[in-house]
Amino acid sequence: QVQLAESGGGLVQAGGSLRLSCAASGRTFSGYSMGWFRQAPGKEREFVATINWSGGTTYYADSVKGRFTISRDNAKNTVYLQMNSLKPEDTAVYYCAGSAISTAERRQTFYPYWGQGTQVTVSS
């Protein structure tokens, strides 16, 4: 019954911005960390960003550090990914994931709940 629904993806020019949203249902994730991952064509899914249960701790992949910001609103059971200064290499399907632990975590095996993904395409 647990579902994560991503939204906010689309086509944007290099240097532009997008904000992705992930709305959870069937479970309250306020006590658990959340994450964003992405998968580009022909590549494996990779870590992008994670946030701990309270929002006080975040970690980012080196490739997005300084450009992306993960945040959460526990009252809305929603997590966000603000993406600025987008590059063509950011093009991928972006997945929201919910963990079973409270601490921010980069490893995908800690996330039993996954959304369907939203496409982000950055044109040059």
Average pLDDT over residues 16-41: 96
The pLDDT of 12-30, averaged and rounded, is 95
What confidence tens digit (pLDDT) does each residue in 59-102 have? 999 999 999 999 999 999 999 999 999 999 999 999 999 999 99
Cβ atoms within 10 A of the Cβ of 37, count?
A: 24
Give Cα separations from 103 to 2, 32, 56, 84, 118 (angstroms).
20, 7, 10, 25, 25
Residue 52: its pLDDT value, please? Answer: 97
pLDDT average, residue stretch 44-63: 98
